[in-house]
Amino acid sequence: MKIYKLFLSGFAFPLIAISQPHLPNSYYWQKMPNGLEVVVIENAKVPLATIEIAVKNGAYTEGPEYSGLSHLFEHMFFKANKDYPNQEKLLKRTQELGMIWNGTTGVERVNYFFTFNKDSLNAGLKFMNAAIRFPIYRTEDMQKERPVVDGEFQRAESDPGFQIWFESQKKLWGDLMTRKNPIGDHNVINTATPEKMMIIKNKYYHPNNSILVICGDVKHDEAFALANKIFGDWPNSGFDPHEKYPIPEFAPLTSTEYFVKESSIAQTPYMMYWWHGPDYRHDSAGTVAADVFSTILRMNSSKWQQALVDKGLATYADVSYQTLSYVGPINIFVIPNPNKLKECHTEILKQVKMWDQNDYFTNGQLADAKQIIRRNDIRQNEKPSSLASQLTYQWCSTSLDYYTAYLDNCMKVTKKDIQKYIEKYITGKSFVAGMIINSAMNKAANTAQFFKP
């Protein structure tokens, strides 16, 4: 155990670092006595600073009665607080600081981030502190913001890609679908109250369930000192939110299910296929193998692309995996040739059955995929203001050590690792398959005759 001491205003605050994570060069970590983890990333490419707070909250904490309220809570973050009692004053302060700001809500993370001139670091941290710790949930503000959040939902529903995604999630997660759906439920959003906002805050918005990242043209000693001075009296909750309010485990799929959704806005049909994939808690190695395999399939030289896109069965054919702490989904998303729907579907299933074969991809393709991942990593690190969000995503769903070792672990993936992943989660396993199509195309293609188990 290492003990760090900062002397501020005549007082000594011990910062106890337990299980110091491995971090890249120019990354520094401390854990404050109240449980708040702080990471400082020194990057002086531009004279700016970015601060971000992320909370282990999001869809996975929401039962049906709270579906979408983590997202609404994120919106209310920018409304009013103790220091800025109305949104007009809050927005005026962001303009004074020249601040670019936003927040996002995902399955396992809610994050808030600001970028401004490096000289405004102290003021920016104070601004963040007031918003995260001392929000004011006024009924009139909520009445204005509920239709804004619900409007995002309605705009998403005008996209056929979202419609088929939404229907797929219902079948993929069953009764726990709300815990994978950050956008929420119309009725829950439109009837939300300040009291429900406080319930979310009191459950999850604590320093011991949060991480603060300070990134940019900053010095880590000074940044840690400011963080401790401003956030040091944020009280620890006294409990682990995810022990007190445990996330239920997602039941595995027991059968394969197909569906066809007719929609007048689906001028081009879409197909989706879903499996329950690995998660960080139980199979972190599988999450890395999944990413490498998806990268191989996206290569123009892959058998997957050649069989579907090169032969004219589809204009787009992607395979992806999302790393999560609780069951990451594996997804095939295809835009098929409307005149060859049956042939496209048949070829997709044929290719999936071949995935675990030893010769489905070559050692050269595996090496090329690793270099694509390496180049993508270099590009992601070129923009300092994006570094905080990359780190907080992994902190919420995996760990800082996973984040640091990710690239090296991708380079170590073997054919055998990928085959193990495919055999464990895809080959012979139940899945959900969906198609969205307009009525005329559906009738002409007679999809019911072939798009079925």
**pLDDT number for residue 13:** 35
**pLDDT number for residue 19:** 75
Out of 3.30.450.40, 3.30.750.24, 3.30.830.10, 3.40.50.720, which CATH number does the structure's domain 2-244 have? 3.30.830.10
Q: Are 421 and 278 in contact (CB under 8 A)?
A: yes
User: How far apart are alpha carbons 154 and 135 in whole angstroms?
Assistant: 27
Could you give the 3-state DSSP secondary structure of residue 103?
Answer: strand
Closest CA to 119 of 217, 230, 27: 217
Band of the pLDDT at 220, cuts 50, 70, 90? very high
Say if residue 14's pLDDT is above 90.
no
Q: What is the mean pLDDT of the chain?
A: 94
pTM, two decimal places = 0.93
Q: Are 117 and 47 in contact (CB under 8 A)?
A: yes
User: How far apart are alpha carbons 106 and 60 in whole angstroms?
Assistant: 9
Say if residue 343's pLDDT is above 70.
yes
User: How far apart are alpha carbons 211 and 223 in whole angstroms?
Assistant: 14
Say if residue 425's pLDDT is above 90.
yes
Say if residue 247's pLDDT is above 50.
yes
Say if residue 317's pLDDT is above 60.
yes
Say if residue 427's pLDDT is above 80.
yes
Say if residue 2's pLDDT is above 80.
no
User: How far apart are alpha carbons 326 and 76 in whole angstroms?
Assistant: 27
What is the domain partition of the chain in residue ranges? 2-244, 257-449
Q: Give tens-digit pLDDT for 117-159.
A: 999 999 999 999 999 999 999 999 999 999 999 999 999 999 9
Closest CA to 241 of 20, 14, 70, 22: 70
DSSP notation for 285-329: HHHHHHHHHHHHHHSTTSHHHIIIIITTSEEEEEEEE---SS-PE
**pLDDT number for residue 12:** 34
Q: What's the burial of 214, exposed, middle or buried (CB within 10 Å: 0-12/13-18/19+)? A: buried
Say if residue 57's pLDDT is above 60.
yes
Maximal CA-CA distance, the chain: 79
| 257-449: CATH topology | Cytochrome Bc1 Complex; Chain A, domain 1 (3.30.830)
User: How far apart are alpha carbons 312 and 447 in whole angstroms?
Assistant: 19
Tell me, rounded to whole angstroms, the distance of Cα 185 from its chain centroid: 19
Q: What percent of the chain has pLDDT over 90?
A: 95
Average pLDDT in the 372-398 region? 96
**Nearby residues of 45 by Cβ (< 8 Å), 6 or more positions away:** 217, 384
**pLDDT number for residue 18:** 59
Say if residue 6's pLDDT is above 90.
no
Say if residue 174's pLDDT is above 60.
yes
Q: Are 67 and 75 in contact (CB under 8 A)?
A: no
